[in-house]
């Protein structure tokens, strides 16, 4: 029949939305959100941190001296290595996500980023720094794609919209932290000001 809509009664969702008890008064939800915040919200904070740090560190004298006052394409590849790594990793994300599950996709992406961060922190030249940023960028979308889905799946229906919105807003928390860290470390007169 044309124009007829089927009404579905999702009782569980309706009961969750109409639940008068707030989440912080429920032990299981307090524990769930306590675990979700650092594990999944931290992913987007990491994204914001890594994206902003390359912008902020370009103002640090020790960084510009170490990389020979980069300009033009050289400065561009130093800055764009992270998003380039993310683009390289995108086609493989559905395979890892579907075959290993969201939790292991987050773990895989996080471990890749940790390896990239260690390489970046101990980089001895620009190619090593660029490769490290590529590795970080390669791991980042694994964690972001799986983490955002996992938040939507695990959050209680009443708080789901808030948590998924906070996931996206966490990017800016990481970016602000990166700016503050760079502002504080720029006065260190060694390579550790940017590492």
Task: Give the Å distances, CA to CA, from 15 to 20, 21, 91, 165.
Answer: 10, 11, 39, 22
Instruction: Decide if 19 is inside a domain.
Output: no
Instruction: Decide if 6 is inside a domain.
Output: no
For the chain, the distance separating the N- and C-terminal CA atoms, rounded to the nearest angstrom, is 66
Residue whose tokens read 């969702």: 13
| Three-point CA angle 20, 22, 26, nearest 5° | 115
pLDDT of residue 8: 56
Instruction: Decide if 104 is inside a domain.
Output: yes
Give which of 13, 25, 48 is closest to 166, Cα–Cα.
48
The per-residue pLDDT for range 140-188, each reduced to its tens digit, is: 999 999 998 999 888 888 888 888 888 889 999 999 999 999 888 888 8
Q: Give the DSSP per-residue string, the chain.
A: -TT-------HHHHHHHT--S-GGG-HHHHHHHHHHIIIIIHHHHHHHHHHHHHHHHTT-HHHHHHTTS--HHHHHHHHHHHHHHHHHHGGGHHHHHHHH-HHHHHHHHHHHHHHHHHHHHT--SHHHHHHHHHHHHHHHHHHHHHHHHHHHHHS-TTTHHHHHHHHHHHHHHHHHHHHHHHHHHTT--SGGGT-
Domain that holds residue 179: 40-193
The per-residue pLDDT for range 39-54, each reduced to its tens digit, is: 888 899 999 998 898 8
Instruction: Decide if 20 is inside a domain.
Output: no
Is the model's pLDDT at 1 over the cut of 60?
A: no
Q: Which secondary structure element, helix H or strand E, spans residue 48, and what is its range?
A: helix 42-57
Instruction: Decide if 5 is inside a domain.
Output: no
What CATH number does residue 117 fall under?
A: 1.20.1250.20
- In this prediction, residues 74-103 reach a mean pLDDT of 92
Q: How many domains does the chain divide into?
A: 1
Instruction: Decide if 15 is inside a domain.
Output: no
Instruction: Decide if 98 is inside a domain.
Output: yes
Instruction: Decide if 134 is inside a domain.
Output: yes
């Amino acid at each position: 029949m044309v124009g007829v809509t089927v009404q579905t009664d999702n009782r569980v969702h309706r009961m969750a939305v109409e639940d008068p008890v707030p989440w912080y008064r429920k032990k299981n939800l307090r524990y769930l959100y306590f675990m979700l915040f650092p594990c999944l919200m931290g992913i987007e904070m990491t994204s914001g941190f890594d994206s902003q740090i390359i912008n902020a560190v370009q103002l640090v004298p020790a960084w510009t001296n170490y990389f020979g006052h980069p300009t033009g394409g050289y400065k561009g590849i130093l800055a764009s290595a992270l998003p380039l790594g993310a683009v390289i990793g995108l086609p493989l994300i559905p395979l890892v996500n579907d075959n290993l599950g969201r939790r292991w996709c987050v773990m895989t992406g996080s471990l890749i980023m940790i390896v990239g961060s260690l390489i970046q922190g101990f980089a001895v030249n620009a190619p090593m720094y660029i490769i490290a940023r590529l590795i970080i960028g390669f791991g980042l979308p694994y964690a972001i794609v799986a983490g955002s889905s996992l938040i939507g799946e695990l959050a209680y229906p009443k708080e789901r919209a808030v948590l998924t919105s906070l996931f996206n807003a966490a990017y800016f928390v990481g970016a602000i932290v990166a700016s503050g860290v760079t502002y504080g470390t720029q006065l260190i007169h060694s390579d550790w000001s940017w590492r």
